[in-house]
């Protein structure tokens, strides 16, 4: 009985969809009317098939031939294991993000445990991708719309992002689409072939890090309690987050070593302790120069006079434990405290990048070493009263030097002293030595001056110059 039923179903597949406009016998029988009779069905046809899970499905096609072609193609795809369920691509991009993002964070839901790249990707999604494509279903995403969106993001077209940031933002969407393809939700990646803006090369002067003489001028304009922070930064090459999270237990005065074991991060404005720095390579030991060791001893002595700095080893679950931090803001008072006759209990406030950046910009401006680039960008703002998004134009200022450029200066100093690039890689906490070479060494070298000296030395009437070290071939690999 089952076999006869299946044969009957197969013989009637595809089958005509009854129509009030068609004059074939089945249509006239179901929808009687006064219209000319015909021998063949002139309406649409229903193609029925069973998916790999055993669920019966159907697809309506305008002609019998189209329905037969669809069935043959579908059966071929099922035999080849390439068939894709159309319903899986009907979810919105926002719904797919909720399914996809845990695969990128390895199921970690704590924001403070995310890496810097994960925090950046989540911010790109929240600020630039979701407002545009969040409500769009996966199968509706098209190459043209994605290309226009990428073009509009670039700051040269009035967008909010520089070319390098546009690339990173697009890569988040591209990975989402590629993984949707792997998850059998899309037959292809609609972001494939999108052209990204070209990252313009900077002028050699803009790539060169600040000199130590310029850093000395900047230090004089910083608040006095941050002088030691800048000295340690330029003597060790530590990142700002590594300096902010440095604890006395990780400072080895006898061995003149600093053990980088954790950092302070600010996910969505909240300061958190993070067990590992930027990458696995960031987990390292950095030597202290005599100047850095002397400065840190002075900081310890000053902290001992003002309070009781701690060399205890605490766990992440214990909280910030501000008394263990080497560098911090000025001692503040906790709000609502009744200690000290209502004046409050003083405590060491952790360093915030945003607060320090304001002081840094003020210092480089007063020191006279600043270079600025002002751009007009368009950003989306949500009106608090209406809840609607609107585009406003804002001015964005790029400042040189940035605090991170102190790290560049330290790397260039190591290169100038002949430290092998592999060792420089370990000290700076980079994954690849080639990155150290490409980012830092070409930025510090005065190639024009070296070539000029080589051409003019020994020339009649040329001014004698001090001997220069030979030019080195620098590879970007």
Regarding whether 79 and 119 lie in a shared domain, the answer is no
Q: Which residue has the tokens 């797919």?
A: 96
Q: Which of 83, 106, 125 is the last residue of a domain?
A: 83
96 in a domain, yes or no?
yes
- Provide the pLDDT confidence category of residue 2 given band limits of 50, 70 and 90: very low
458 in a domain, yes or no?
no
Q: What pLDDT score does 280 carry?
A: 61
Q: Evaluate if residue 468 carries a pLDDT over 50.
A: no
Regarding whether 70 and 97 lie in a shared domain, the answer is no
Regarding whether 95 and 137 lie in a shared domain, the answer is yes
Q: What pLDDT score does 266 carry?
A: 85
Q: What is the pLDDT of residues 98-141, one digit of tens each?
A: 999 999 988 777 777 787 788 899 999 999 999 999 999 999 99
Regarding whether 21 and 61 lie in a shared domain, the answer is yes
- CB of 59 within 8 A of CB of 68? no
Q: Evaluate if residue 168 carries a pLDDT over 80.
A: yes
Distance from the Cα of residue 387 to its chain's centroid: 28
Q: What pLDDT score does 162 carry?
A: 87
Regarding whether 44 and 23 lie in a shared domain, the answer is yes
What is the side-by-side strand order in the sheet with 257-260? Answer: 251-252, 257-260, 284-287
- List alpha helices for 208-268, DSSP H: 212-221, 227-236, 240-244
Q: What pLDDT score does 448 carry?
A: 55
Q: What pLDDT score does 165 carry?
A: 92
Regarding whether 54 and 103 lie in a shared domain, the answer is no
20 in a domain, yes or no?
yes
- CB of 353 within 8 A of CB of 269? no
The conformational region for residue 429 under phi > 0 = left, psi -120 to 50 = alpha, else beta, is left
Point out which residues pair with 181 in neighbouring strands: none
Regarding whether 77 and 129 lie in a shared domain, the answer is no
Regarding whether 169 and 112 lie in a shared domain, the answer is yes
197 in a domain, yes or no?
no
C-alpha atoms less than 13 angstroms from C-alpha of 239 in its C-beta half-sphere:
21
The three-state secondary structure class of 332 is strand
Q: What is the mean pLDDT of residues 381-410?
A: 79
Q: What pLDDT score does 5 carry?
A: 42
Strand 371-382 and strand 284-287: pairing?
A: unpaired
Percent of the chain with pLDDT over 90: 38
Q: Count how many domains the chain has.
A: 2
Regarding whether 147 and 108 lie in a shared domain, the answer is yes
Window from 5-19, 314-328, 388-402 with minimum mean pLDDT? 5-19
Q: Which of 145, 161, 182 is the last residue of a domain?
A: 182
Q: What pLDDT score does 252 carry?
A: 93
Q: What pLDDT score does 246 carry?
A: 94
Q: Evaluate if residue 278 carries a pLDDT over 60.
A: no
Regarding whether 168 and 99 lie in a shared domain, the answer is yes
Regarding whether 116 and 44 lie in a shared domain, the answer is no
Window from 3-12, 73-82, 207-216, 414-423 with minimum mean pLDDT? 3-12
Count of C-beta atoms within a 10 Å radius of residue 165: 18
pLDDT higher at 1 or 250: 250
CATH number, domain of 158, equals 1.10.150
Q: Containing H/E element for 382?
A: strand 371-382
Q: Containing H/E element for 146?
A: helix 143-153
Closest CA to 426 of 280, 244, 328: 280
284 in a domain, yes or no?
no
- Provide the pLDDT confidence category of residue 8 given band limits of 50, 70 and 90: very low
Domain membership of residue 64 as a residue range: 13-83
pLDDT higher at 38 or 446: 38
- Provide the pLDDT confidence category of residue 4 given band limits of 50, 70 and 90: very low
Q: Which of 51, 83, 115 is the last residue of a domain?
A: 83
**Does pTM top 0.75 for this prediction?**
no
Count of C-beta atoms within a 10 Å radius of residue 153: 27
- CB of 215 within 8 A of CB of 222? no
157 in a domain, yes or no?
yes
Q: What pLDDT score does 359 carry?
A: 94
313 in a domain, yes or no?
no
Regarding whether 96 and 169 lie in a shared domain, the answer is yes
Q: What pLDDT score does 439 carry?
A: 52
- CB of 43 within 8 A of CB of 35? no
Mean pLDDT of the chain: 82
Q: What is the mean pLDDT of residues 30-37?
A: 87
pLDDT higher at 100 or 435: 100
Q: What is the mean pLDDT of residues 457-474?
A: 48
- CB of 350 within 8 A of CB of 328? yes
Residue 438: DSSP 8-state: I
374 in a domain, yes or no?
no
């Amino acid at each position: 009985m089952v076999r006869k039923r299946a044969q009957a179903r197969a013989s009637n597949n595809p089958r005509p969809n009854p129509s009030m406009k068609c004059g074939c016998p089945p249509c006239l029988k179901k929808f009687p009317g006064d219209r000319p009779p015909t021998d063949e069905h002139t309406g649409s046809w229903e193609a029925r098939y069973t998916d790999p899970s055993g669920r019966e499905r159907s697809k309506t096609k305008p002609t019998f031939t189209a329905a037969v072609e669809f069935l043959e193609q579908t059966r071929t795809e099922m035999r080849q294991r390439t068939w894709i369920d159309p319903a899986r691509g009907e979810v919105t991009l926002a719904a797919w993000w909720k399914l996809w993002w845990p695969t990128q964070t390895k199921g970690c839901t704590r924001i403070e445990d995310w890496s810097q790249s994960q925090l950046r990707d989540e911010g790109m999604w929240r600020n630039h991708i979701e407002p545009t494509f969040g409500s769009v279903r996966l199968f509706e995403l098209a190459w043209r719309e994605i290309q226009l969106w990428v073009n509009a993001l670039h700051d040269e077209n009035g967008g909010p992002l520089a070319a390098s940031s546009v690339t990173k933002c697009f890569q988040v969407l591209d990975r989402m689409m590629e993984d949707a393809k792997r998850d059998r939700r899309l037959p292809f990646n609609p972001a494939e072939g999108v052209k990204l803006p070209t990252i313009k090369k900077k002028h050699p002067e803009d790539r060169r890090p600040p000199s130590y003489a310029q850093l000395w001028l900047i230090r004089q304009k910083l608040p006095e309690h941050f002088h030691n922070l800048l000295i340690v930064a330029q003597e060790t090459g530590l990142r700002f987050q590594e300096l902010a999270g440095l604890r006395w237990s990780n400072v080895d005065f006898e061995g003149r070593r600093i053990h980088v074991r954790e950092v302070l991060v600010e996910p969505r404005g909240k300061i958190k302790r993070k067990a590992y720095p930027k990458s696995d390579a960031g987990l390292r030991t950095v030597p202290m120069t005599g100047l850095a060791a002397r400065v840190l001893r002075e900081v310890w002595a000053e902290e001992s006079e003002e309070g009781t700095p701690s060399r205890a080893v605490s766990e992440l679950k214990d909280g910030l434990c501000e008394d263990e931090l080497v560098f911090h803001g000025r001692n503040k008072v906790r709000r609502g405290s009744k200690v000290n006759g209502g004046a409050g209990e003083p405590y060491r406030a952790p360093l915030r990048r945003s607060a320090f950046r304001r002081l840094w910009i003020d210092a480089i401006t007063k020191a006279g070493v600043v270079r600025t680039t002002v751009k007009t960008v368009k950003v989306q703002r949500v009106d608090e009263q209406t809840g609607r998004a609107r585009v406003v134009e804002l001015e964005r200022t790029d400042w040189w030097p940035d605090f991170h450029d102190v790290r560049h200066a330290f790397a260039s100093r190591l290169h100038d002293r002949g430290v092998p690039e592999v060792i420089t890689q370990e000290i700076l906490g980079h994954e690849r030595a080639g990155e150290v070479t490409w980012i830092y060494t070409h930025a510090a070298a005065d190639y024009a001056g070296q070539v000029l000296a080589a051409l003019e030395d020994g020339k009649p009437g040329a001014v004698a110059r001090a001997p220069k070290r030979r030019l080195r071939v620098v590879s970007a690999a």
